[in-house]
Amino acid sequence: MSDLIQVQDLKKHFPIGGGLFSKSKIKVIAADGVTFSIKRGETLGLVGESGCGKTTIGRLLTRVINADSGKVLFEGRDILLMSESEFRSIQKNIQMIFQDPQASLNPRMTIKAIIKEPFLVHRMYNKGRGHIDGEINRLIKGVGLSPEHLNRYPRELSGGQQQRVGICKAIALNPKFLILDEPTSSLDVSVQAQILNTLKIIQREMNLTYLFISHDLSVIKHMSNRIGVMYLGHLVEMAPADELFENILHPYTQALFSAIPTFRNEVRRFNLILQGDVPSPLKPPEGCRFHPRCPQCRKVCETEMPALVEVAEHHFVRCHL
Amino acid sequence: MSKASANESLLQVRGLRTRFYTYEGEFDAVSGIDLDIRKNESVGLVGETGCGKSVTALSIMRLIQDPPGKIVSGFLVFKGEDLMSKSIGQMRAIRGAHITMIFQKPMTSLNPTFRIGTQMADIISLHKQLGKKEAWARSIELLKNVRVAVPENVVKRYPHELSGGMRQRVMIAIALSSNPDLIIADEPTTALDATIQKQILTLIDDLRQEFGFSMLFISHDLRTIYNVCDRIYVMYAGKIVEFGDIESVFEYPAHPYFSALMNSLPKFDIKKDSLGAIPGTIPSLLNPPTGCRFHPRCPFAFELCERETPNLREVGKDHRVACFRAMEGKNA
């Protein structure tokens, strides 16, 4: 299988403060040299705490925000170097599903108008109105809603149904790549299960590639083939899902795994409670970003940033140990 | 903790019914529930959005806003006294002194325009006759209790200068300030990151050992409930459908709703291609289903479930379930 998306050394710093005439001196480091690739039909899970940069990565890949440096190769072409019109021609292949379905649906449009919009934006109506209506009916059934929902407004639907509309809109133009940013975080667990099942089914049917962003390890484990763990703008560990759960190497990943509550019969290998808060991304620590909270911190960690090294097959870790 | 004191009742809720009057009609957010909290016990209340968890908590505190809401019937017996017969003034003295609350969003519960110490001292002097300086000193001491590293520094800060975890520590310190008998924690860690959540839960556990308060812990996160509670109540559409000892309920979930909920969780140890989703959606409380409220979504429902409301029946030691089918399943 070939790579659909290759991300190389992607960087994004958000300047804050500063005015019209004075340049800002402080920067929020959101993504600092992130490199990964995703194969066709694969799901890469990105996990990490708030402020680690996982959402920024998703937004950079859709060019909602512009990267400072780095490359994003989609089917071999760098989307960051494309002109607006060039990007628009491939944009329909890269779609995003958001955390808050209510906020991402226009409250003044009917469900039908919302799903139709991508067709209009990308001028896909040349096959006639009847064709689009038929498409919309097919799509809405595919995500587990019925055509009678089409004439309603978003507020008339439950959170789970709204998220289904979000999915419907995202897959309307037959994309290749979906970025899912915490798609089930605002939903109840029983509804979450319905949505995750739907996502898995459409992935199989449409041969979609997913970048699945979440802070919930159990959801990430369920959905992903590979998992990347982020901390303060860096990938600190990346491995196939089963390998990561078998063999956790980075102390931060270990801490993250010991922090999640589990049932008794589920496996828990570490009992590591971190002291202190996540450092501010305004002023990330020198050397390894995790060293002030790391229980196994050594001298070298304070000064030198470790590189992301492949320690086992497909298992990458950024740690001196 | 001796066995006798462990079973001593602290709060008894009997037949609590809280009704809301809205433009769309009247409905019971909580429709006749019984709930017990014993001394030194941590009780979990779990359920999905709109099932009535938070309304239950607010009803216990008698904080339901009227209008639109009202407790229409039921008893709240706290340390042998009936809370329903208390006046507003008496209730105010109980709240904050004997029963306190920790909320989900610490940012919205703290006043952004006052220093932490000022706010804490305010609340402390409300319940205890302390001078300004003493109250200030007491707030530093309280922050020390919740393991704040430099409390002398934190009291001088404003809420926005603190991290989410630190704010929640301040809230816990305030809740503990009067040495209460019962703390109601409404999703106290939902807004926090995993590693911070772990810190706060460990802290609450330690403080319970130290101060010996009881806790009603409300959450939708089954794993968190399992880790911090001794007993659990499961709510669905305004009713308690299952309750009991935490180990027993999680090991043998007897109500079809709760076992379906457990099945819908992604698991770490089992690889499954699809999750056991519950068909349909939560019923509208304006027009709840007849009989057992779960029957339209229940795979085991038969005609009796449609007609009659099941009572809570014993299926194990300290484990009761409101389901006609649960007993059968036990025998099979």
Residue A183 has pLDDT above 60, yes or no: yes
> Which positions in chain A touch B266 (Cβ < 8 Å)?
193, 196, 218-219, 221-223
Instruction: Give CA separation, B326 vs A250, A308, B109, B231, in Å.
Output: 45, 53, 42, 19
Instruction: Give the residue-averaged pLDDT of A274-285.
Output: 76
Are A190 and B264 a contacting pair at CB < 8 A? Answer: yes
Are A259 and B273 a contacting pair at CB < 8 A? Answer: no
**pLDDT value, residue B4:** 43
- Which residue from B264, B268, B274 is facing A245, i.e. has the nearest CB? B268
> Which positions in chain A touch B253 (Cβ < 8 Å)?
none
> Which positions in chain A touch B271 (Cβ < 8 Å)?
242
Specify the pairing of strand B69-78 against strand B81-82. Answer: antiparallel
Are A188 and B48 a contacting pair at CB < 8 A? Answer: yes
> Which positions in chain A touch B205 (Cβ < 8 Å)?
none
Residue A266, SS3 per DSSP: coil
Of the candidates A247, A187, A242, the one whose C-alpha atom is nearest the C-alpha of residue A216 is: A187
> Which positions in chain A touch B274 (Cβ < 8 Å)?
197, 200
- Which residue from A159, A245, A260 is facing B194, i.e. has the nearest CB? A260
Distance from CA of B36 to the nearest CA of A (A): 24
ipTM: 0.79
**pLDDT value, residue A127:** 66
The CATH code that applies to domain A95-213 is: 3.40.50.300
> Which positions in chain B touch A255 (Cβ < 8 Å)?
195
Q: How many domains does chain B have?
A: 1
**pLDDT value, residue A233:** 86
**pLDDT value, residue B214:** 94
- Give the separation between CA A137 and CA A112, rounded to whole angstroms: 9
The tens-digit pLDDT sequence of chain B (332 residues) is 434 445 688 999 999 999 999 888 888 899 999 999 999 999 999 988 888 888 999 999 988 888 888 898 898 999 888 988 888 889 988 888 899 999 887 778 888 899 999 999 988 888 777 888 889 999 999 998 888 888 888 899 999 888 888 888 899 999 988 889 999 999 888 878 888 888 888 899 999 999 889 999 999 889 899 989 999 999 999 999 999 999 999 988 889 999 999 888 888 877 777 888 888 778 888 888 888 999 988 888 888 888 888 888 888 888 999 988 876 554 43
Is position B157 within any domain?
no
Is position B72 within any domain?
yes
> Which positions in chain A touch B278 (Cβ < 8 Å)?
190, 193-194
Report yes or no: A261 at the B interface, CB cutoff 8 Å.
yes
Instruction: Give the residue-averaged pLDDT of A239-259.
Output: 88
Structure tokens at B64: 């339901």
**Rounded (10°) CA dihedral A157, A161, A163, A165:** -90
> pTM to 2 decimals?
0.84
Are B268 and A221 a contacting pair at CB < 8 A? Answer: yes
> Which positions in chain B touch A217 (Cβ < 8 Å)?
194, 268
Find the closest chain A residue to B221 by CA distance: A189
Quick count: other Cβ atoms within 10 Å of Cβ B93? 13
Residue A265 has pLDDT above 80, yes or no: no
pLDDT in tens, A128-139: 667 888 888 888
- Give the separation between CA B321 and CA B236, rounded to whole angstroms: 12
- Which residue from A49, A192, A197 is facing B194, i.e. has the nearest CB? A49
Report yes or no: A68 at the B interface, CB cutoff 8 Å.
no
- Give the separation between CA B22 and CA B319, rounded to whole angstroms: 36
CATH code of the domain containing B202: 3.40.50.300
- Which residue from A190, A219, A261 is facing B223, i.e. has the nearest CB? A261
Are A189 and B261 a contacting pair at CB < 8 A? Answer: yes
Find the closest chain B residue to A145 by CA distance: B280
Contacts of B61 (CB under 8 A, 6+ apart): B95, B99, B101, B184
Whether cis (ω within 30° of 0) applies to the bond prior to B67 is: yes
Instruction: Give the domain extent around B92.
Output: 3-111+182-331
> Which positions in chain A touch B202 (Cβ < 8 Å)?
273
Quick count: other Cβ atoms within 10 Å of Cβ B261? 24
pLDDT in tens, A45-64: 999 888 788 888 888 988 88
Report yes or no: A83 at the B interface, CB cutoff 8 Å.
no
> Which fold would CATH assign to domain A1-91+225-321?
Rossmann fold (3.40.50)
DSSP E strand boundaries for B122-236: 182-186, 214-219, 231-236
DSSP bridge partners of B19:
B28, B70
Exposure of A13 in the CB half-sphere (CA atoms within 13 A): 16
- Give the separation between CA A307 and CA A290, rounded to whole angstroms: 13
Residue A22 has pLDDT above 80, yes or no: no
DSSP E strand boundaries for B187-311: 214-219, 231-236, 239-245
Report yes or no: A271 at the B interface, CB cutoff 8 Å.
no
Are A273 and B273 a contacting pair at CB < 8 A? Answer: no
- Which residue from A219, A259, A264 is facing B194, i.e. has the nearest CB? A259
**Rounded (10°) CA dihedral B115, B118, B119, B123:** 170
Structure tokens at A30: 């959101």
- Give the separation between CA B304 and CA B288, rounded to whole angstroms: 16
Of the candidates B242, B237, B289, the one whose C-alpha atom is nearest the C-alpha of residue B262 is: B242
Are B224 and A261 a contacting pair at CB < 8 A? Answer: yes
- Which residue from B194, B220, B264 is facing A193, i.e. has the nearest CB? B264
**pLDDT value, residue A18:** 64
Exposure of A301 in the CB half-sphere (CA atoms within 13 A): 17
Are B221 and A261 a contacting pair at CB < 8 A? Answer: yes
- Which residue from A219, A258, A263 is facing B266, i.e. has the nearest CB? A219
Of the candidates B169, B46, B225, B195, the one whose C-alpha atom is nearest the C-alpha of residue A215 is: B195
Report yes or no: A277 at the B interface, CB cutoff 8 Å.
yes
Which of A161, A190, A271 should one mutate to test binding to chain B, selecting the residue with the greatest count of B CBs within 10 A? A190
**pLDDT value, residue A266:** 66
Of the candidates B167, B177, B162, the one whose C-alpha atom is nearest the C-alpha of residue B207 is: B177
**pLDDT value, residue A125:** 67
CA angle in degrees (0–180, nearest 5) for A217-A259-A163: 35
Are A197 and B202 a contacting pair at CB < 8 A? Answer: no
- Which residue from A50, A192, A221 is facing B193, i.e. has the nearest CB? A50
Are A194 and B265 a contacting pair at CB < 8 A? Answer: no
Report yes or no: A22 at the B interface, CB cutoff 8 Å.
no
> Which positions in chain A touch B197 (Cβ < 8 Å)?
259
Q: Are A30 and A65 in contact (CB under 8 A)?
A: no
Of the candidates B266, B176, B164, the one whose C-alpha atom is nearest the C-alpha of residue B221 is: B266
Q: Could you tell me if residue B52 is left (phi over 0), alpha (psi between -120 and 50 degrees) or otherwise beta?
A: left
- A·B CB contacts under 8 A: 109
Is position B33 within any domain?
yes
Distance from CA of A306 to the nearest CA of B (A): 23
**pLDDT value, residue B3:** 41
- Give the separation between CA A249 and CA A245, rounded to whole angstroms: 10
Contacts of A18 (CB under 8 A, 6+ apart): A24, A25
Report yes or no: A205 at the B interface, CB cutoff 8 Å.
no
- φ, ψ for residue B235, nearest 5 deg: -110, 145
Question: In chain A, which segments carry CATH 3.40.50.300?
Answer: 1-91+225-321, 95-213
Are B266 and A196 a contacting pair at CB < 8 A? Answer: yes
Is position B309 within any domain?
yes
- Which residue from A158, A196, A261 is facing B227, i.e. has the nearest CB? A261
> Which positions in chain B touch A191 (Cβ < 8 Å)?
48, 281
Instruction: Give CA separation, A62 vs A91, A100, B141, in Å.
Output: 8, 18, 50
Structure tokens at A11: 């960087």
pLDDT in tens, A149-171: 899 999 888 888 899 999 998 99
